[in-house]
Structure 1
Amino acid sequence: MADTSVRLIDRGRVHADMGYVIDGYSMASASNPNPDHEMAEFVVWNAVIDTPERTILWDTGSNPRAGDGYWPAPLFEAFAHVDAAEHTLEADLDAAGYSLSDIDAVVMSHLHLDHAGGLVEFADTDVPIYVHEEELKFAYYSAKTTEGSIAYLASDFDHDLNWNIVHGDSYTLEPGVRLVHLPGHTPGVLGAHIETPDGDVLIAGDECYVEGNYIEEIPLGPGLLWSERAWFDSLQKVKELERQTGADVLFGHDLERFRSFGKGWNA
């Protein structure tokens, strides 16, 4: 749409083993029984989608206390958000020219702790928080029982929030902004197809952590994959949307890809 923009917000860096992100990346073999492991740097990002109707925040990043005991120690050891304390949601929005009060709605791609850590800023407000029904169910199941995934923290999302539930495969949020269900990494990952004057944008999010997941169709590592079958089907959905629209595809944590888009689209 003519006036829609997508501005990218850099929320810092996570250091993690590539084996978590690309399945089989450092697997041993008969000829190489002790392969080297590769630590890599990944980006945490949010986006502000400005439409004629509303200013929408995509995800909320990590809690700034991630490295101070807020994140469980095993998770921080595996995925160290090394500069989370330097990246509060309020400060990073301010650096991009926005304030928390400018945000009319929030879309949660999913509720893992590196995406939902700033939701508390919208507690006790009427700001709508869009989340897929399967994600909200799985997040509470995981955070409130010993089942599910350890990557959900109840303290991130168990607040008085104005949840708006997304059902099914797609949801039109605004003219030119359509949410797309992409299960695989988690049951309720949301991506988006956004039309801007600079061209279309496809947010694949954590369906694809990095380019290798997308281009080479290598799944995420087992610890990051809820369902490989669902992941593959979602990947084909994103690729078909790219073929239909010629959109730029934005991955979940690929630092080089993130930087290649500069400040964003029509920003």
Structure 2
Amino acid sequence: MEIHLLDRGTISADLNFALDAEVAAVRSQQSPELRYEEYAVWNMVIDHPEATVLWDTGSNPDAESVWPAPLFEAFAHEDAADHDLETALAAVGYGVDDIDIVVQSHLHLDHAGGLYHFDGTDVPVYVHRRELEHAYLSANTEAGGDAYLAADFDYDLDWQVVHGDRQLLPGIELLHLPGHSPGLLGAHIHRETDDDVLIAGDEAFLAPNYEEGREMGTSLVYDSRAWERSRRKLKERERRSEATVIYGHDPDQFERLRDTL
């Protein structure tokens, strides 16, 4: 299986969202300087012998105009239009029409904004049941989370609902990793060359979330106990398989892996 990381640009945000209380006032330094940094946005193409799989569809290219203003203010994706899905796919030799399967790790606006490409098609879109329920609840009521836009996912899509861990294709196992969102999906990609890949995605915004157990900011964690259980689940998989673990938005890792997977 060939794996290609797609460059979908960068989101700019306060580091405290990614690493809880990374910059905090203390008695001796009551006015610390905040850190406003850039984070990678990526998708993935998995070229499997039986199907070409697209992992996530990224931000809507018109993010600045379609995202709620407070969310764009907090998580500015200013280059979304320069890194739209069609451009990102073309950069690694694919087109939207080459995609046989879409997997949505979750339906937050920086991950589901390209689903309109598959409106009215027979391309199956895999999503966890809890995620689909929570996304519609969040987008249409005052309950749930604020990172869901009905306009991202309320299309004529061939939803394939996942209920737990399950095999997608031989060698590709979907993993339910609740915590960041109720229905977050990751994956264990088993490759014959023994260089397995674990997609942690937004279970870990940055490397320290996974490697050191540093929680993300409270606005990025739906359920902190579930988040820690999911982290332990991935750690056990990593221990047994020595897989490369891919984080959700780590810019250093993205640059390191984009040409080496």
TM-score of the aligned structures, taking structure 2 as reference length: 0.98
In the alignment, which residue of structure 1 is the partner of 2:5?
A: 8
- For 1:264 and 1:87, the matched residues in 2 are separated by 21
Structure-to-structure mapping, 1:145-224, within 5 angstroms: 145-168=141-164, 170-196=165-191, 197=193, 199-224=195-220
- 256-265 or 156-165, which moves further after superposition? 256-265
Alignment match of 1:34 (pick from 31, 34, 40): 31
Q: Helix, strand or coil for the counterpart of 2:66?
A: coil
Instruction: Please report how far the alpha carbon of residue 263 of structure 1 lies from its aligned counterpart in structure 2 after TM superposition.
Output: 2.5
- For 2:159 and 2:253, the matched residues in 1 are separated by 31
Structure 1 vs Structure 2 CA RMSD: 0.9
Residues 147-196 of structure 1: per-residue CA shift (max 9 Å, x gap): 1111000000000000000002x110011100000000000000000023
In the alignment, which residue of structure 2 is the partner of 1:94?
A: 90
Instruction: Please report how far the alpha carbon of residue 108 of structure 1 lies from its aligned counterpart in structure 2 after TM superposition.
Output: 0.4
Structure-to-structure mapping, 1:1-267, within 5 angstroms: 4-67=1-64, 69-168=65-164, 170-196=165-191, 197=193, 199-265=195-261
- Partner amino acid, structure 1, of 2:42: W
- For 1:136 and 1:264, the matched residues in 2 are separated by 33
Contact 1:6–1:264 (Cα < 8 Å) also in 2 = no
Residues 55-107 of structure 1: per-residue CA shift (max 9 Å, x gap): 0000000000011x211110011000120011111121111100111000000
- Partner amino acid, structure 2, of 1:42: Y
Instruction: Please report how far the alpha carbon of residue 262 of structure 1 lies from its aligned counterpart in structure 2 after TM superposition.
Output: 2.9
- For 2:260 and 2:104, the matched residues in 1 are separated by 19
Q: Where in structure 1 are there 5+ consecutive unaligned residues?
A: none
Q: Helix, strand or coil for the counterpart of 2:120?
A: coil
Q: Helix, strand or coil for the counterpart of 1:173?
A: strand
Identical aligned pairs, as a percentage?
54
Instruction: Please report how far the alpha carbon of residue 198 of structure 1 lies from its aligned counterpart in structure 2 after TM superposition.
Output: 6.3
How many residue pairs get matched?
Answer: 260
- Partner amino acid, structure 2, of 1:210: L
Instruction: Please report how far the alpha carbon of residue 264 of structure 1 lies from its aligned counterpart in structure 2 after TM superposition.
Output: 4.6
- For 1:220 and 1:188, the matched residues in 2 are separated by 17
- For 1:198 and 1:86, the matched residues in 2 are separated by 35
Residues 217-240 of structure 1: per-residue CA shift (max 9 Å, x gap): 011101111011000110011111
Contact 1:11–1:87 (Cα < 8 Å) also in 2 = yes
Q: Where in structure 2 are there 5+ consecutive unaligned residues?
A: none
- Partner amino acid, structure 2, of 1:96: V
- Partner amino acid, structure 1, of 2:9: G
- For 2:250 and 2:150, the matched residues in 1 are separated by 27
- Partner amino acid, structure 2, of 1:147: A
- 31-40 or 114-123, which moves further after superposition? 31-40
- For 1:58 and 1:71, the matched residues in 2 are separated by 21
- For 1:141 and 1:81, the matched residues in 2 are separated by 25
